[in-house]
């Protein structure tokens, strides 16, 4: 991927998060692991850094860390290519395969001004080139009916499609034996947060530490998120091949302002990993980047953890990111840590669980405080102040908070700071806050203060991280 070196263009260019070299990007699409590659498709406008003329952009990776941007996969045709998913049709149920090669099949929403329907495309060369498959395979004659996530359900030996009716705040499940003929199975919702339209559903199984199986249903909404803009909610429950039944209340996936449209990789053995768009529809068109607009969160490995209030989803940065670690500073106790310019950083902070303990991290540039992270009174806070750069972004400044799991013996914070974002993981991934960040000047230091007990009980590690783009 070519990268400009001009300071204006690259001031907020991520060092370790995926972003295309130019133009607009939003939802991840078609995440699938096939042929030793992680395939990432996404909503992409190849003509401008604004939403419109949507194609599927494409990138690939061997390790979830280093991404190579590829040519557009699915170009706009008589309709825009809205969000969807991709599967490996190992048994050639679709009939698209040839010569014993399993086809890669994409199911996406074709969007026109007066209709949204679900279409197919297929590839016989591991996603390099694609063939569109005729007309829609699922069309109910609605202007809002989109974002199909398709997966193989082994127990019922058929494909399942999870798709939303945005205005009705409903998720509908369909079944198929050939990816082309679909029958309705069940409808979920309205439920949980309904203050905005529903989008980008996801349904997948996870096991907890004891081996118990849960199904996770995730759906995004806009507006109506934790702070009025975009947000993502989930339920844990059961899926019998026909219907999803929630056994927990709806909870927020992420307590920040910039996590949307998450999807998991299909066909990834032995673990479940997802990726999301790191932005918010409140200000996505107005963020102060030049020539490009949109990035992804760091990929996260998913699990289910016990909690006094019931099982909860846990998200942990994939361990492959540790390959980016360079210089390391270790200290017991608080103080000021210098941060290397033009690099991303990872911070790990641990301390024994103490009800009165307070931790504050102040990230500063020469212009002053750019963002702060606080733990106090059993809550995690990320505070984004108003700056000259962000004063015109409606919905950007503010405090984002989440309750911490107080039953743990040790508290922990894992923080990733990049050129234009901060992601904070706490409670072994039970709590996450993801926020875009546009500092007035480059952040040069972090002041870490520990109160309420002996500061020497706190362990701090600060890593500078190599660029995942090799520059």
- Could you report how far apart the first and last alpha carbons of the chain are, in Å? 11
Alpha-carbon distance values, 20 to 35, 75, 131 (Å): 23, 16, 24
Q: Count, in order, helices (H) and strands (E) of the chain.
A: 1, 34
What is the set of active-site residues? 27
3-state SS, one letter per residue, for the chain: CCCCCCHHHHCCCCCCCCCCCCEEEEEEEEEEEECCEEEEEEEEECCCCCCCCCEEEEEEECCCCCEEEEEEEECCCCCEEEEEEEEECCCCCCCCCECCECCEEEEEEEEECCEEEEEEEEECCCCCCCEEEEEEEEEEEECCCEEEEEEEECCCCEEEEEEEECCCCEEEEEEECCCCCCEEEEEECCCCCCCCEEEEEEEEEEEECCCCEEEEEEEEEECCCCCCCCEEEEEEEEECCCCEEECCCCEECCCCCCCEEEEECECCCCCCEEEEECCCCCCCCCCCCCCEECCECCCEEEEEECCCCCCEEEEEECHHHHHHEEEEEEEECCEEEECCCCCEEEEEEEEECCCCCEEEEEEEECCEEEEEEEEECCEEEEEECCCCCCCCCCCCCEEEEEECCCCCCEEEEEEEEECCEEEEEECCCCEEEEEECCCCCCCCEEEEEEECCCHHHCEEEEEEECCCCCC
Structure tokens at 434: 């993801």
| CA–CA separation, 450 and 441 (whole Å) | 26
Write the CB contacts of 270 (distance below 8 Å, at least 6 apart in sequence): none
Closest CA to 90 of 137, 32, 130: 32
Q: 249 pairs with which residues across the strands?
A: none
């Amino acid at each position: 991927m070519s990268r400009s070196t001009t300071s204006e263009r690259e001031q907020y260019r991520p060092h370790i998060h995926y972003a295309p070299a130019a133009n607009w990007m939003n939802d991840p699409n078609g995440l699938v692991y096939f042929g030793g590659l992680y395939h990432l498709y996404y909503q992409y406008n190849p003509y401008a850094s604004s939403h419109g003329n949507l194609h599927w952009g494409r990138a690939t990776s061997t390790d979830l860390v280093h991404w190579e941007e590829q040519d557009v996969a699915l170009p706009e045709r008589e309709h825009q290519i809205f969000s969807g998913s991709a599967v490996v049709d190992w048994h050639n149920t679709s009939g698209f395969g040839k010569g014993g090669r399993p086809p890669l099949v994409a199911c996406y929403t074709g969007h026109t001004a007066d209709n949204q329907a679900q279409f197919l495309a297929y590839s016989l060369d591991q996603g390099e080139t694609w063939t569109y498959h005729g007309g829609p395979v699922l069309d109910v004659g609605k202007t809002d009916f989109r974002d199909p996530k398709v997966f193989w359900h082994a127990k019922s030996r058929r494909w399942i499609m999870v798709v939303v009716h945005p205005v009705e705040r409903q998720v509908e499940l369909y079944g198929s034996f050939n990816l082309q003929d679909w029958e309705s199975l069940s409808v979920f919702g309205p439920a949980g947060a309904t203050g905005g339209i529903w989008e980008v559903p996801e349904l997948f199984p996870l096991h907890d530490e004891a081996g118990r199986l849960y199904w996770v249903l995730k759906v995004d909404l806009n507006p109506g998120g934790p702070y009025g803009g975009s947000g993502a909610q989930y339920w844990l429950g059961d899926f019998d091949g026909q219907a999803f039944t929630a056994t927990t209340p709806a909870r927020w996936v992420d307590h920040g302002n910039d996590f949307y449209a998450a999807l998991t990789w299909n066909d990834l053995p032995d673990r479940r990993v997802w990726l999301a768009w790191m932005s918010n529809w409140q200000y996505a068109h107005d963020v102060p980047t030049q020539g490009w607009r949109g990035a992804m969160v760091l990929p996260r490995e998913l699990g289910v953890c016990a909690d006094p209030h019931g099982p909860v989803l846990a998200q942990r940065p994939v361990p492959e990111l540790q390959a980016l670690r360079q210089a390391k500073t270790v200290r017991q106790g608080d103080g000021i840590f210098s941060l290397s310019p033009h690099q991303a950083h990872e911070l790990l902070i641990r301390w024994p669980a103490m009800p009165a303990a307070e931790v504050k991290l102040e990230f500063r540039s020469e212009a002053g405080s750019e963002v702060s992270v606080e733990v106090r009174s059993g809550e995690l806070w990320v505070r984004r102040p108003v700056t000259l750069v962000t004063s015109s972004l409606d919905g950007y400044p503010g405090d984002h908070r989440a309750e911490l799991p107080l039953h743990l013996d040790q508290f922990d914070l894992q923080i990733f700071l990049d050129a234009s974002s901060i992601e904070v993981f706490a409670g072994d991934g039970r709590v996450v806050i993801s926020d875009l960040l546009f500092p007035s000047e480059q952040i040069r230091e972090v002041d870490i203060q520990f109160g309420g007990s002996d500061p020497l009980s706190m362990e701090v590690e600060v890593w500078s991280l190599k660029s995942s783009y090799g520059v």
